[in-house]
Chains A and B, each alone.
Chain A
Amino acid sequence: MTPDKSSKPNALPPRWLDKLASKICAPHLREELIGDLQERYTLRLNRYGRQKAILFYVKEVIALLQFSILKRKPSPYPSLPLFSFEMIRNYIKIGSRVLLKNKGYTFIHLIGLSIGLWACMMVATVVIDSLSYDKQWSRSKDIYRIVSADKKGEGIVERMSSSHEGLAQELQKLYPEVQAWSMFSNPSRYFKLKGTDPEGIKTQLLRMDTTAWGMLDIKVLSGNPRHFVDGTNNIVLTKSYAAKFFPGQDLTGKIIYDIPSYQSKGNPYLITGIVDDLPYNSHLRADVIWVEQNKPEAYAAVGFYSYSQNYVMLKPGTDIASFTSRVNKWYSAVNKDKGAKQIEFQPMESIYLHSDFSDGQRVKGDARIIQIFSGTALLLLFIACVNFVNLSTARAFARLKEAGMRRILSGSRYQLIIQFLTETLILFALSVAAAATLYYLSLHSVEDFLGHRLVQTFTTNLSLAGYAVLTIFVTGLVTGLYPAWLISGFKPANTLRGIITTAVGQNTLRKSLVVLQFSISIVILLATIVVWKQLSLMENKNLGYDKNNLLSIGSVSWDGKADAFKTELLRIPGVVRASTSQWLPTQGGGYMTKEVPDPINAERRIQVWFIAGDVDLPATLGLKLVSGRMFSSSFSTDALNADSLQQADFAKYEQSSLMQASLMTATAAKLLGVKQLNEQIASTKTVPIGTIADFNNESLYEPVKPTLILAHRSPQYGGMLIRVQPGTERQVTASVQRLWKQFYPSKLLDINEVNDLLFKQYESEIKLQQLFIFFSGLTMFLSALGIFGLVVQAAEQRSKEVGIRKVLGASVAGIVALLSKDFLKLVMIAIVVASPLAWLSLTKWLEHYPFRTDINWWIFVVTGIGALAMTLLTISFQALRAALADPVKSLRNE
């Protein structure tokens, strides 16, 4: 091979190897050493050819790895420390100046971040508070609630928070692990604290057994409540309740009375002591403790028994899984049902959040809402951070010259990064201050919205606040790192000459972040629409009875005066019809249920619900007759005087109740296979006289239940339904209250409009809807804010291009389109991405409801058009301004 240097002027080793060699070599040796390597490479290239030369070069680079070559010479100049006091002061000074100079951007950043942080703080509070429930009891880890779980076929388990009242006692006898047990319930009573108040003070009670003193840590302040006084109701007041109603009095030994629903006279309650307030964040929250000394009957698998909420306290360290399986083995052996009925032990700490099966529980949270709540808040914070990153990266252009100048004046890259991070942290600090103020101010509204107090908040728990600040600090660092890294990474020589390398122009990251951000907003917007549709469906659905202009009186004991009361009641102007009733809307599916064999499949059993009232009940409710006839007082078999018959002669009652007339709903008729009216149905022991259209006796969370309606005459117990003329609800309520005073001067009157009661059932949906409206508004606003910042940036950056285009004759509309096109494209992509996602998740959510709204195509169209319109609105102003600007101004400056 003839060496011919001039013909191979590009005979250089591969660049990456060269770079590697430079990295290895200490800076002061680079000149000579890299030169040597390249010279030898050229020699070898001529001698052996390219491939071998490269191989040799690799070896040479490896051979560089020795101490004398690696060792860096200490810099002869004192390096500026990153964190001296002067530098920190400088970072902050420059940072605040930059923020003050770009007021618009600072403002956009601040608003976005404050809202994101505020939402997160709020939600974190709610989540932390929900998780704190029942954790404060010293034995909370060992206390379990007994949950009955009945298998109702394949995969269907019906759970109840109550169990046989003797079960807990029996378990203590059988298993040494059970240390103590108690029944707990949360009834409420209207106490007559002063002689004059007729309504009484509604008081939440915690009803517990004497054994519970050893399970819960309750601090006794005065009296000796642990000593049970026989022969009367023992109650213990909490400190704040006593101070509120009996300030400065010694109450121990006093007796107070309640206002009863059933008895004609108030029950006496002996105050046996004062205790410290019970924790608010407990599902046993109460103002007064009602102590009982229960001696439940021994457990028996058959026969009549009552149910109660039973709690057991196990020995610390008991393996609950094995304990449960052992108990269940015994339980199914006693019941002889091959495990159809099971017992579960629900840990005390999870009772608050995971008790959707427990209907009577007054204090409970909804894990689903908490999840949705926290998910949405995290997304909100994410959108806020995305805005921040997007805008800061877009702003990188404006800062490039500054960055270049700083580096030329011997600022290190790390100093630049810290400079930019300082700006980020100043912004975050300001946002935290704003968010904290907002948080403090809005805490009360949020408590109102939730319907309960928040115990663990950032204002009451300082260590919590510390964690929050730390988390926000880390979030700030992470958010600020990318823009800082990007801006500080450019070569100063290029940036000062105005050459901008592709990294900033190549904004795939920014674009995908905008798409992501808008997808999230669109999903939330779609969810809002669907939740709203579902709620309006539940509120407006025809229930099968007329729920308007209907009043209800809660269950009482009528003391034999039911008929007289009804007669007087019907005289009140405005009252159309009235009926006593053993079932009231929102109080379950009926007053009793029966399991009867399925006529189609003998192995299966179906459950039938019973509703009883007097003969006017169907007419009062406004049920629609399909076939047969309604109840009538002219048929003696229609209405039995059940209570008096039962008292007189039970056998005779049994006999006549077999032929009891009934009305069936269409579903009941179908399920029971009834084809002929007026013939006794053996399984339910009634004679159907008519079929009525289906109606939703329970909330719309439940499917329509097969229901039979019976009529009783002169019932002892029950409520009353009153049909009134439209618009007279108020007057009638007032008149009923007056009438009530005459009939039952010391009894509690619980009168409500059925519509209100029904509405309250959907509280969780209403909350969800409000939440979604709020969050979708916020996310949309933040997304719009982000895109606004970006369009301002784009208009600024392309001002010269716009100027040249205008000089060359572009129209204003054309330029607006030019600037808007990019963003509209992104939003459209977001719509395409978000719609199927939203459809999937919302369909899944709707599966919870037996009566669900459709997800129509128009929802997506409306949302899409809405998002596009909002984007257009946001950007058109800036785009117009850019398009209308005088091209002379943008072009002259050079």
Chain B
Amino acid sequence: MRRSDLGEFEEIVLLTVAATTPMAYSVAIAEELEKETGHAVSTGAVHAALQRLEQKGYLSSYLGEATQERGGRRKRLFTMTAYGGKILSDVRSVRNNLWSRIEPETLTKIGLDFS
């Protein structure tokens, strides 16, 4: 597994794509991220991340319909590829593993007790 391939921002964007499919495009993703994180997220940053993810093969894209609020321009819609899904689940299992290995006392100590 080439774990280092996926940056943190990219990982979140990838997850958001998965969450907003089938309407995953830059604006929807950026708005979603803003809502979730509470920070302003620029379209350009999201777009750049999406481009990189597509280059790496985690995403595929196609041009969608034009709408009026876009000044008659079409949007690029993204869907996750199977490879992208595998990467995401790999990342998740690594995290889960690590989480499960944390001792309950430690969890309490650092105030992360979910039980």
Chain A contact residues, CB within 8 Å of chain B: 5, 9, 11-12, 29, 31-40, 42-43, 56, 59-60, 63-66, 68-69
Contact = CB atoms under 8 A, between A and B. Distances in A.
A57 to B, nearest CB: 10
Given A38-B70, A40-B27, A69 B48 contact: yes
A60 B67 CA distance: 20
Interface residues on B, range: 20 to 34
A42 B73 contact: no
Most A CB contacts (10 A, CB to CB) among B45, B51, B66, B71 go to: B71
B3 to A, nearest CB: 23
A31 B73 contact: yes
24 contacts: A5-B69, A11-B69, A12-B71, A29-B47, A32-B73, A32-B74, A33-B26, A34-B71, A35-B70, A36-B26, A36-B27, A36-B47, A36-B75, A39-B70, A40-B31, A42-B69, A43-B27, A59-B42, A60-B42, A60-B44, A63-B42, A66-B45, A66-B48, A69-B44
Contact of B43 (A5, A12, A40, A68): A40
Contact of A32 (B30, B42, B45, B76): B76
A625 to B, nearest CB: 103
Contact of B71 (A5, A35, A65): A35
A50 to B, nearest CB: 15
A192 to B, nearest CB: 100
A422 to B, nearest CB: 40
Given A36-B25, A65-B44, 15 more contacts: A5-B68, A12-B71, A32-B63, A33-B26, A33-B47, A36-B47, A36-B70, A39-B75, A40-B43, A60-B42, A60-B44, A63-B43, A63-B44, A66-B44, A66-B45
Contact of B67 (A31, A34, A39): A39
**Is chain A's binding surface mostly helix, strand, loop or mixed?**
helix
B52 interface: yes
Nearest to A61: B44
Nearest to A37: B43
Contacts of A34: 71, 73
B53 to A, nearest CB: 12
B100 to A, nearest CB: 38
Interface in B11-46: 25-27, 30-31, 40, 42-45
Contacts of B68: 5, 9
A38 to B, nearest CB: 5
Nearest to B49: A68
Most A CB contacts (10 A, CB to CB) among B30, B40, B66, B73 go to: B73
Given A32-B76, A36-B25, A68 B48 contact: yes
Nearest to B64: A32
Most B CB contacts (10 A, CB to CB) among A9, A39, A40, A68 go to: A39
A36 to B, nearest CB: 5
Contacts of A56: 40
Given A38-B70, A39-B69, A33 B43 contact: yes
**Is chain B's binding surface mostly helix, strand, loop or mixed?**
helix
A1 to B, nearest CB: 16
Interface in B48-66: 48, 51-52, 63, 66
Contact of A35 (B40, B44, B52, B75): B75
Nearest to B42: A63
A43 B43 CA distance: 13
A68 B26 CA distance: 15
Contacts of A5: 68-69
B20 to A, nearest CB: 14
B71 A32 contact: no
Contacts of B48: 66, 68-69
A40 B41 CA distance: 11
B74 to A, nearest CB: 6
Contacts of B26: 32-33, 36
A43 B31 contact: yes
A17 to B, nearest CB: 13
Nearest to A8: B69
Contacts of A11: 69
A66 B51 CA distance: 12
A37 B68 CA distance: 13
A35 B31 CA distance: 15
Contact of A60 (B43, B52, B66): B43
A237 B78 CA distance: 100
B110 to A, nearest CB: 35
Most A CB contacts (10 A, CB to CB) among B47, B63, B69, B74 go to: B69
Interface in B71-107: 71, 73-76
Contacts of B30: 40
Contacts of A9: 68
Contacts of B25: 36
A60 B44 CA distance: 7
Contacts of B27: 36, 39-40, 43
Contacts of B73: 31-32, 34-35, 38
Nearest to A25: B44
Contacts of B75: 32, 35-36, 39
A24 to B, nearest CB: 9
Nearest to A59: B42
Contacts of B70: 35-36, 38-39
A38 B71 contact: yes
A323 to B, nearest CB: 72
A19 to B, nearest CB: 13
Nearest to B26: A36
A140 to B, nearest CB: 69
Most B CB contacts (10 A, CB to CB) among A34, A36, A56 go to: A36
A12 B73 CA distance: 13
B56 to A, nearest CB: 13
Nearest to A35: B73
B44 to A, nearest CB: 4
Contacts of A60: 42-44
A63 B75 CA distance: 19
A133 B31 CA distance: 81
Given A31-B74, A66-B48, A68-B51, A36 B69 contact: no
Contacts of B71: 12, 34-35, 38
A69 B43 contact: no
Contacts of A63: 42-45
A615 to B, nearest CB: 110
Contacts of B45: 63, 66
Contacts of A69: 44, 47-48
A35 B43 contact: no
B44 A64 contact: yes
A63 B49 CA distance: 13
Nearest to A12: B71
